[in-house]
Structures are given as structure tokens and as C-alpha cells.
Amino acid sequence: MKRIFSILLIIGLIIAGGFIFFTNNSPENEPEVVKHVEAKDLDREMIIDIESGMTFSDICALAGIDHGDMMEMVTASEDVYDLTKVRVGRKIKFYFDRETDNFTKLIYPIDTEEELFISPQEIDEEIELAEDEEIPNKFLAERKEITYDVIVKTAKGTINSSLYESAMEQEIDIRAIIDLAEIFSWTIDFGVGIREGDTYSFIYEERYRDGEYVMPGKIIAAKFVNDGRNVEGYYFSEGEDEDGNVADGYFAPDGESLQKIFLKNPVSFKYISSGYTTGPRYIAKFSAYTSSHRAIDYVAAIGTPVRSVGDGTVTSAGWNSSGYGNLIKVRHNETFSTNYAHLSKIYVSAGQHVSQGEVIGSVGSTGYSTGPHLHYEMVKNGTKINPLTIELPSGKAIGEDKMEEFGQVVAKWQGQLN
């Protein structure tokens, strides 16, 4: 009965929302689900909410598991999950046979993707153990991937004040909006760059379990029109690389990564005269020590073009009287900004949007400068950092051999975004 109800609920959702529903397993030929329901019906279920200060030992005591078995469970799961670190707020489920009251199964949610299963394991008592062999554990512990039913949904909105408020009006799960902002975080500045009238649309998965909504899944495709600029991103996975890491991410229709890395250098230079230091440094021309040099100095001829290392908004451009001379500051996103000092010329003005690689000024020797060079600073969350050693997303474009496959992904979803 319960199963029929959940199927009806899902059908209802499809009709109500006009959603496309797809799942790998239709409920009719899904042995896993059937087994699960049967086990539930046969076994007595006991759910314990893990409260602050509760240990796994306390939880087992509540469930009526004796100390010896509890210790065996901890040992059995050693290699898959550390049960001494169960998390407050999670629900742990115990199952017992209705007739014998024997423990049959424990399920603990590790994260949104996996669960820990512990069940008694059948031990062949006839078997003879070699001398150095350990007695097998009473229990078997395994990590199992959680399988969700997935509904693909499309959401659209226009921004009047903020993306967050627009999402609330549209009743979009805020977790999906956070993921959306993350996808565009290198191309759109959600802190200061959002304009009234900006629009967005995105296609994303919603995850259901036993007919109940759990959480948003992955975003498949997204489009944002920011200040008249159209930005699109499509999820694509190129499979595993040599190290076994999944190479995936969000890409523009031309295959360029949306997780843009910064240009390695903002200028073509002869050499770096001063690297990034956090200790004192003596400057002969001014007969003085500076406390540190949290920047990179690139020596280059006066007039050499200076480029913005990433997309962003110019926050200030002009004369700085505290030594920087002609200075441009570019804000790239909520995390990063870069500063370009001692310029001979400035080609941009505050508030202007600049693209990665765009020429914004030229090398000079204005302010406290010992000779023509670009003094370049990178700021992360308000702190100057070394731009040459910072870790950034890969930013790699889709490989040429995968472009045809990616083109099909774009073709499949692009119409629905518009």
C-alpha cells in the first residue's frame, strides 16, 4: 500500500509541475526497492536521533545491543567508518526480527551519498582457522551508495533585489541557488555585480527517497543574464583522469571552463625583480626598509600593456598618494581581487566591467618606484596572498576529442533554458 502511495505521489508531482521524470529503475522491476519494503515489513524498526553528547555505546545501549556486540560492530566498521564519531542530529536505524527479536541490520547515514550498513555475518563454524588467522567478526560493515529517485526540474526567475530573494519568491530550494551561484562565481560577482532585471534559468535534479523530497541534486545546465551579458554553463564529465579523479565541471557552449583560473602573469615581462615576501626588504633608492613585499614586481618597459588577470569589475582607477602611483583595483568575485600599481597609463574607470586578458593600463614608474615595473597584488578575502603559489580550480577546457559529445549535451538542454 505504501509503495502504491509513493508511486501515486510521484505521478502527482509530475502532473502538477509538468516535470520530466526519469529514474534508472522503474518501480515495477526494481528488486532493491521491493526487498527494502519487505525487510521493513518483517523487521521491527527502531530509529534513534543522535543527540549532543551521545556516544555509539549509549546509542547501542538504548537499542538493546549488548556491550560485546557493540564493540564487535565498532571493530567491524573500522575500515569503512569510525563509529566513535557518529554525528549529532543524524538518525541511526536498528532493525530486529519480529519473531526472534534478533538484530538484523543497522543503517547510519555517512553523508548525502553513502550509508553505513552493519549486519550479522554468517560464519561457517566448521571452518578451521590457521594459527595466525583471526576469528572472523560477528558483523559485516559496508558502505552503500544511496540511490535516489530523480526528478529534473527547471527554475526561472528575474532579480529585483538579490538572487536569494528571487529564489525565495520562486520557492526554489536555497541549496540549489547556492550551487547555481557557485557555478557562475568566476564570471558573475554576486556580491556587487547583480543588477535589477538580471534573469536566470537553470535545469537541476531533485532527489527523492521513498516518495519524499530530500534535497537538490546536481545542476545540469544554467543560464544567467547579468547586466545584459549572457552566460551559460553545462555540466559535463570527461570521466576519470590518470590519477582516478573525475574530471568534471561546468563549461560554456564553446567548451571553455566556467571555473576560470587567472592569467599566470598580467604582463609580458623581462624578469621578476621582487617576489612575494612576508619579511623586511631594503630599498636603496629610498634608503628605507619596507616591512614586507606582499606582491610580485615584474620588470618591463614603460608602455608594456597590463592585462586584467580575470573577469571582474574595476573598483578604483587613478592616482594613489601612498606610494602606488597610478593604481587600478579589480574585483573578480566575492573572494578575489587584484591590484596593479606604478602604471604610466590607465585605460579603465571605476565601475567598468573588464574581461580576462583585457588591457587595462600600461607599465610605468609612478609613485614610489625604483624603475619601470608592474607591482602586482592579489587579494583573497581581504588578505594579500602570493599569486604565484595559490591553488586555483583547474580551469581546463573540454578536450577536443570530447567536444562532439559535449555539443550534444548543449543541444539537449539549451532550448529548455531559453
Q: Beta strand pairing status for 20-21 and 281-283? A: unpaired
Name which of 181 and 267 has its Cβ closer to Zn ion.
267
- Please state, as a whole number, how many other Cβ atoms lie within 10 Å of the Cβ of residue 341: 26
Q: Pattern 324-363, binding to Zn ion, x per CB under 5 A?
A: ----------------------------------------
Q: Pattern 239-278, binding to Zn ion, x per CB under 5 A?
A: ----------------------------------------
Name which of 70 and 295 has its Cβ closer to Zn ion.
295
94 sits in which H/E element: strand 91-97
> What's phi and psi for 47, nearest 5 deg?
-105, 130
Q: How would DSSP label each residue in 246-265?
A: EEEEEE-TTS-BSSPPPPS-
State in angstroms the smallest separation of the CB of 342 from Zn ion. 8
Total site size for Zn ion, rule CB under 5 A: 3
Name which of 189 and 377 has its Cβ closer to Zn ion.
377
Amino acid identity at 78: E
State in angstroms the smallest separation of the CB of 369 from Zn ion. 8
State in angstroms the smallest separation of the CB of 371 from Zn ion. 11
Amino acid identity at 308: S
Name which of 43 and 377 has its Cβ closer to Zn ion.
377
Name which of 260 and 375 has its Cβ closer to Zn ion.
375
Question: Who contacts 192 (Cβ-Cβ below 8 Å, separation ≥6)?
Answer: 313, 331
Task: Please state, in angstroms and as integers, the Cα–Cα distance from residue 102 to each residue in 67, 293, 300, following that order.
Answer: 15, 68, 78
Q: Which residue is nearest to Zn ion (CB)?
A: 375
Q: Pattern 273-302, binding to Zn ion, x per CB under 5 A?
A: ----------------------x-x-----
State in angstroms the smallest separation of the CB of 273 from Zn ion. 8
- Please state, as a whole number, how many other Cβ atoms lie within 10 Å of the Cβ of residue 356: 17
Q: Pattern 361-380, binding to Zn ion, x per CB under 5 A?
A: --------------x-----
CA distance 181 to 198: 13
State in angstroms the smallest separation of the CB of 195 from Zn ion. 35
> What's phi and psi for 310, nearest 5 deg?
-155, 170
Residues 61-120 that bind Zn ion (CB under 5 A): none
Give 4's Cβ-side CA count (13 Å radius): 1
State in angstroms the smallest separation of the CB of 165 from Zn ion. 42
State in angstroms the smallest separation of the CB of 306 from Zn ion. 14
Name which of 149 and 297 has its Cβ closer to Zn ion.
297
State in angstroms the smallest separation of the CB of 297 from Zn ion. 4
Name which of 217 and 372 has its Cβ closer to Zn ion.
372
Name which of 293 and 307 has its Cβ closer to Zn ion.
293
Q: How would DSSP label each residue in 101-139?
A: --EEEEEEE-SSSEEEEEEE----TTPPPPTTPPPPPSE
CA distance 373 to 76: 63
Binding site for Zn ion (CB under 5 A): 295, 297, 375
